[in-house]
A = this chain, B = another copy of it.
Amino acid sequence: MKVLLDTMSGDAPPEEIIKGAVRALRETRDANLKITLVGKEELNREEVKKLEAQDLLSRISYLHAPNTISMEDTPTKAVRSNPDSSLVKGVTALKDESEIFISSGNTGAVVAAALFNLGRIQGVSRPGLAGVIPTVRSGNVVLIDIGATTDADPLNLAQFGIMGNAFAKNILSKSDPKVGLLNIGEERSKGNKLTKKTVSLIERTDLKYIGNVEPHLLITEPPADVVICEGFVGNILLKAFEGGVEGTIGFFKEALTSNLRSKLGGLILRPTLKELKEQLSYAQFGAVPLLGVRGVVFVAHGRSEARAIKNAILKAREASRWDLPGKIETEMERIDFND
């Protein structure tokens, strides 16, 4: 099982990404896990040396990619004009489903590179990124799409439902997942043109569709296992949720210094607070799979540092057993919207 890791495209420097890779190798006993560092080979070799990872050398290899695609680049243009970038070279090098590509780079560019070099699964109109969101009590919820397809049409959304359902069923082991549509109200009359047109399409599938889901319920008491949305909206939701968490913890920390009583309480609760922050941090979840393309591609948060990369690798590792592209293809063949 091989992970191709893009060391150059994230906000964090290569040394931080490579630190995550080395930690992942140390943490798992599975000697079959191998990592190929995709980026400037000499620089990457240098960083591995610095980390004193001699014992792991048989599990680390290098794929030289001298160029970088930046967060500022326009995705399609950058991918077409920069075949020697770590992002494009990594995707292109994927051989089969035992190999996984992970990048914390420009999401649009990862999507464009995957579409361009791997292609879509038969029947899929647009790929979707499946985010897994922690909830207070009832486990996880799959939110799809969180940024691969910023402008979606109703067919795209209905297919996100099918792909998200396959993911929840096969990977998160949810039997008979409930599927909902992200919306600004629970009533059927609520929403924008896109959500209103999507409903009739979803209702033509055999998904266990439960109707609209409001964003705050997603995190507190989600009525569905899979929630569908347009990529732009899903990405905004996720970042607003992050802001809500960070904001609350920030307010709380301020409050903890307001008087002696609070200071005492804060001191006692320091470990709990730290744990809380960990549990709700994006770094915990590592990376999210890009569903709908012919290969296993994970996108990590742009801000990912060593811990997030380590978690991304360990999670992506499981994905090689999933055959998710195969499972999505089977589902897509079963449901035909042109009926």
A284: B residues at CB distance < 8 A: none
Residues of B within 8 A of A242 (CB): 215-216, 244
Tell me whether A265 and B254 are in contact (CB under 8 A). Answer: no
**A184 interface residue, CB < 8 Å from B?**
yes
Asked if A216 and B240 make an inter-chain contact with CB atoms under 8 angstroms apart, the answer reads yes
Q: Which of A69-77, A79-87, A313-321 contacts B (4 or more CB under 8 A)?
A: A69-77
Q: Which of A36-44, A203-211, A266-274, A286-294 contacts B (4 or more CB under 8 A)?
A: A266-274
Give the residue of B187, B241, B264 whose beta carbon is less than 8 angstroms from that of A243: B241
Please tell me if the beta carbons of B246 and A272 are within 8 angstroms of each other in the complex: no
Interface of A is mostly: helix
Expressed in whole angstroms, the minimum distance between the Cβ of A131 and any Cβ of chain B is 12
Q: Which of B184, B192, B241, B269 contacts A266 (CB 8 A)?
A: B269
Are A243 and B215 in contact (CB-based, < 8 A)? yes
Interface pick from A17-25, A120-128, A167-175, A217-225: A217-225
Interface residue ranges, A against B (CB under 8 Å)? 71-75, 108, 135-137, 147, 150-151, 182, 184-185, 187-193, 214-220, 231-233, 235-252, 254-256, 258, 261-262, 264-266, 268-269, 271-272, 275-276, 279-280
